[in-house]
Amino acid sequence: MKNFLTPAETANAFINVGKAKATNTAGKLFVLAILAGCFIGFAAHLATVVATGWTIGGMPALFGLKKFFIGAVFSTGLMLVIIPGSELFTGNNLMSIALFNKDITFGQLLRNWGIVFLGNLVGSIFLAWMFARMSGLTSSNVGATAINIAAGKVAAVDGHNLQFFFRAIGCNWLVCLAVMMATAAQDIGGKILAIFFPIMAFVTSGFEHVVANMYFIPAGIFSKHFPGALSASKIAADPSVLNWGTMWSQNMITVLLGNIVGGALLCGGVYWWLYVKNNKKEA
């Protein structure tokens, strides 16, 4: 028995995947989405810890290697999503394959995306509150890192939103390719490797993932409550720049739209056209 699916088999597999996701109950979708938000949050917290302390003489050091290790550990998040099973908004952008093939309706697609997005948000913010507000894990240097990461995502600079839109396209293009590759792999080792490289690539490259930011930005907001973390951060002079409003206006909406373009169109749409489009006619 072969240990992987061909590209055509993989793309066609997402017809049944999309139909199953479109018809699942709202309660199950919501709980599975909360789990995915938590799983991505675990990886995001781990990445924050790994990002802390890379300095020599007070100056940033080994930039590329630091980014590589952050990306390497962050890949744990999608492994937890895919292998035990849960519902991740960005991965569910591949439901576009079933939509374009007319196996699900646009209303079913929006129902799934809406429920899953909300569940991912609840799970991510819950984990950020638990780790960055209640556990004390971000009370000092790790908290300063969390604040700096979040502040960098909401910085009000010229062209910021447009830049983040294109970063978000690249991100979910790679995330959805990781999901497709993990689906193609027929053993757990293959799934782990299939997930690791694209996720490592998107994080190391500096791309933007809307569900990851559901953790990163709230974690920074919660970490502001610790004086030691705030005083060591880059926004100590003006903590107000990082808040729940700038989270949405400066990041989340833009990144959400870019992720949809990268995942639903450049990945799902292209592979539907290449390998799925003529299936019904041929049948």
pLDDT tens digits along 18-41: 999 999 999 999 999 999 999 999
Lowest mean pLDDT among 80-89, 103-112, 157-166, 239-248: 157-166
Span 167-172, mean pLDDT?
98
Cα–Cα distance, 152 to 31 (Å, whole number): 31
Class of domain 7-282: mainly alpha
| More confident position, 75 or 3 | 75
Residue ranges of the domains in the chain? 7-282
Q: Reply yes or no on whether the pLDDT at 69 is more than 90.
A: yes
Higher pLDDT, 66 or 79: 79
pLDDT at position 225 is 95
Q: What's this model's pTM, rounded to 2 decimal places?
A: 0.94
For the chain, the residue count is 283
What torsion, rounded to 10 degrees, do the Cα atoms 228, 125, 201, 188 define? Answer: 120
Instruction: Report which residue type is found at 141.
Output: N
For strands 55-56 and 59-60, give the pairing: antiparallel
Report pLDDT for 156.
79
Q: What is the pLDDT of residue 1?
A: 62
Residue 280 scores a pLDDT above 70: no
pLDDT at position 159 over 80: yes
d(CA 177, CA 195): 9
Average pLDDT over residues 151-178: 94
Q: pLDDT grade, residue 173 (50/70/90)?
A: very high
Q: Look at residue 282 in the predicted model and tell me its pLDDT.
A: 42
Largest CA distance in the chain: 67
Q: In this structure, are residues 150 and 234 in contact, taking their beta carbons and an 8 Å threshold?
A: no
pLDDT of the residue at 281: 45
